[in-house]
A = this chain, B = another copy of it.
Amino acid sequence: MPEAGAPEPIARLIQEFSKLPGIGPKSAQRLAYHVLKAPEDDARALAQALADVKERVVLCETCFYITVSDPCALCDEEQRDPTLVCVVEQPLDVLVVERTGGFRGLYHVLHGSLNPIDGVGPEQLRIQELLRRVEAGQVVEVIMATNPSLEGEATSMYVQRLLQPLGIRVTRLARGLPSGADIEYMDDLTLSRALEGRQEL
């Protein structure tokens, strides 16, 4: 272990870096020595950015997207359609949907998906808050944009069952072939779902 021999502040920085996801001991070492050689301002900027994220970023009390001011910029935008709510698992997913430029409704971030093995039940997600939003009366359609994974699908089904009695439309993103795909190399599940969801030409 080379970090055992490094001076204490370096060894500690290596240790802190290696706690980050995808950063192994070797990368952590390389990053720490980079910081050591880099201008002091760079290290200070990174340290400040870390502190700022923890101090200034909060969750929007309406949609639970990450924001520096509550309500968030998305909820605050008047041109958006408040009758349409897109439900996503993670804050990052909001940006991905926004990038398409094809959605002008509001969002609701669940902050995860149902995963009993990892101890994530409905009470760990922002599901009750979504129900209250819908019960407030303005929402006409909820689009479930959870991941097409086991957990994402289970979450969508669970939410859909709760929303159905409220008499609104609950939809989910289409399943099918990703654009640019080659049918020859498509997995069975994707292909069978594309078949099921076939559309008129």
A89 to chain B, nearest CB (A): 12
Identical chains in the assembly? 2
A53 interface hit (Cβ, 8 Å): yes
Contacts of A169 in B (CB 8 A): none
A158 interface hit (Cβ, 8 Å): no
Chain B residue with the shortest CB-CB distance to A2:
B95
Within A41-58, the residues touching B (CB, 8 Å) are: 42-54, 56-57
A92 interface hit (Cβ, 8 Å): yes
Partner of A50, one of B22, B30, B35, B91: B35
Contacts of A51 in B (CB 8 A): 43-44, 47
Interface contact B98-A10, CB-CB below 8 Å: no
Chain B residue with the shortest CB-CB distance to A1:
B99
Contacts of A68 in B (CB 8 A): 7-9
